[in-house]
Amino acid sequence: MAFDLESLAEATSGAIGALVSTSILYPLDTCKTKYQAEVRAHHQQKYRNTADVLWEAIANGQVLSLYQGLGTKNLQSFISQFIYFYGYSFFKRLYLKKTGNKTIGTKANLIVGVAAGACTVIITQPLDTASSRMQTSKFGKSKGLWKLLSESSLSEAFDALGISLLLTTNPSIQYTAFDQLKQRLLKRQLKEKTSTNSSPEALSAFSAFVLGAVAKCIATFVTYPAIRCKITIQAADLDDNNETEEAESKKQKTVSGALYTIWKREGLLGFYKGIEAQVLKTVLSSALLLMIKEKISKSTWVLLLALRRYLFMTQTRLKSA
């Protein structure tokens, strides 16, 4: 299949949107992750809520440590969103070309989303694991990306890969819902217009924000227990663990061990510990990502067209010289 410029434009705008939204919301993400990673009985918990993590950083003069691992997280977000959006757009266009359909159905959209998500996870899992360990390390004691990767075995770098593959249903549900809602909204807006416009329609910033928030909220509630297990498995080991806690920590590094530990120490509600912060962070992040993507997608498309034309003209001049 020929080089897909439209898929590249989608991937680039999506990756830039992910980079900006990740940077803006990173302190909230760090507080959320540290709170979710703590698996203890209620009377032994260090953090009662996500705000306690923030107050600990302020009290210890470690506010900047809320940004530990930001570079790795941004790298992981940029690469993963680029791969996801490119794969999603590419597979979607391939499906429409092979079937001859003008639109893609919900089931096919889900399959396309999962396929794109699986490719993304396999490539970026070591970066995801490293960023989680940086965020859950003690404030001011986070290791660098290269040191974390060099100290970890290959299996450790791919901790929770199975759960991450399962969680590919999360963005696929989100983007499918967003895409379907977007198409319906644009069709309604098009009917209300008296004059025709040949240029591609785009959502307003507010509409993209609202639709992104609704889509992500639903996906988060459905998949949250798996999200909690994933963070528990990927969390950094504490330096001051005693032998008993160290043995328990090793058990938590497996899916069955994480499930058993959460159930034993926190009960059924433990699988939804921190869901408020997760919903707030993911909804804001996804809504910002999609809002930014919608607003810069046209500019990205124009820039790529100009770049392709420039390269073509340069190549033609070289041949004629």
Domains of the chain: 3-189+201-235+248-318 (1.50.40.10)
Task: Give me the torsion for CA of 40, 45, 51, 52, rounded to 10°.
Answer: -140
DSSP code for 138: P
pLDDT along the chain (321 residues), means of 10: 62 81 91 90 83 92 91 90 83 86 79 86 92 89 84 85 88 77 81 54 76 80 90 77 53 81 90 90 79 76 75 73 61
44 contact partners, CB below 8 Å, separation of at least 6: none
Is residue 26 within 8 Å of 70, Cβ to Cβ?
yes
**In the prediction, which pLDDT does 53 show?**
93
**In the prediction, which pLDDT does 200 show?**
46
pTM metric for this prediction: 0.72
Give CA–CA dist 15/82, Å, rounded.
5
Give CA–CA dist 268/248, Å, rounded.
19
DSSP code for 144: P
DSSP 170-239: HHHHHHHHHHHHHHHHHHHHHHH-SS---SPP---HHHHHHHHHHHHHHHHHHHHHHHHHHHHHHSPPPT
**In the prediction, which pLDDT does 205 show?**
75
Give CA–CA dist 129/159, Å, rounded.
7
Q: How many CB atoms lie within 10 A of CB 310?
A: 10
DSSP code for 137: S
255 contact partners, CB below 8 Å, separation of at least 6: 160, 162, 163, 229, 233
Long-range contacts of 308-312, Cβ-Cβ distance < 8 Å, separation of 24 or more: 308/5
**In the prediction, which pLDDT does 303 show?**
78
Give CA–CA dist 238/54, Å, rounded.
19
179 contact partners, CB below 8 Å, separation of at least 6: 109
Give CA–CA dist 122/144, Å, rounded.
22
Is residue 36 within 8 Å of 231, Cβ to Cβ?
yes
Which residue has 């965020």 as its token pair? 135
**In the prediction, which pLDDT does 182 show?**
85
